[in-house]
Amino acid sequence: MLAKNGKINKNPEKGNDMAYNPEKELKKGAELRVMSLDPKQSMKVSAGKVTVGGEPGIVDIIGTAAGKQDGSLGGTASLWLSIFRFMRPDGTVDHVAGWNIMIPLASGQTSEQTARAFELAVNLDPSRPYFAKAEGSRLWIYYREKKMSIPVEQEGVQTDTSENTDNAVNEKCENDITDGEQP
């Protein structure tokens, strides 16, 4: 039997396999794994999935690092988020890339400093749809889509494409509309 999208429906009793199901889609997300290659600092995953629906992945970091001593991988820590797909309400499917973050640890680096280092690494990459928050030696990682930003020229100065740019675009459009111009 054919589904509405023209593909073969494998289970006609359940309806269209390709229909948007918010309960199902919001539970999808990246699997979270961590690894410490430091003999004195360990990492443990307390919540192993970062979901589209807002459930964070949680990592606990324990101990003070011995640090990176040579050219080997010893004295490093790694955080990995898997690739995943999810469907939007309009039926489009998003493919979210996986991500591996590896950081070198300094001798005497505390678990709080390691959590903060991972927080910075996650938050400083604007191309990734994740946000991290470190409190003490615990790290929370959330899935968060960023709005599409475009550069805006104001008074001859080119602004950056940060979140503030979205506000500038909206204000410019509102001003243009109130001035009788088309946006």
- pLDDT at residue 5, rounded to an integer: 55
CA distance readout (Å), 87 to 13, 14, 55: 21, 18, 17
* Three-class SS of 34-99: EEECCCCCEEEEEECEEECCCCCEEEEEECCCCCCCCCCCCCEEEEEECCEEEECCCCCEEEECCE
Helices (runs of H) and strands (runs of E) counted in the chain: 3, 12
- pLDDT of the residue at 52: 95
Please report, to the nearest 10 degrees, the dihedral formed by the alpha carbons of residues 129, 133, 138, 140 taken in order. Answer: -30
Q: What is the C-alpha to C-alpha distance for residues 42 and 114, in angstroms, rounded to an integer?
A: 10
**Nearest CA among 85, 84, 125 for reference residue 101:** 125
Residue 17: per-residue pLDDT? 57
Residues 158 and 150 sit within 8 Å (Cβ to Cβ)? no
In terms of pTM, does the model score above 0.85?
A: no
Confidence at residue 170, expressed as pLDDT on a 0 to 100 scale:
38
Per-residue DSSP letter, 145: P
Q: CA-to-CA distance for 151 and 167, rounded, in angstroms? A: 12
Per-residue pLDDT tens, the chain, 183 aa: give them.
344 554 444 444 554 557 899 999 999 999 999 999 999 999 999 999 999 999 999 999 999 999 998 888 999 999 999 999 999 999 999 999 999 999 999 999 999 999 999 999 999 998 999 999 999 999 999 999 865 444 444 444 444 444 443 343 334 334 433 344 333
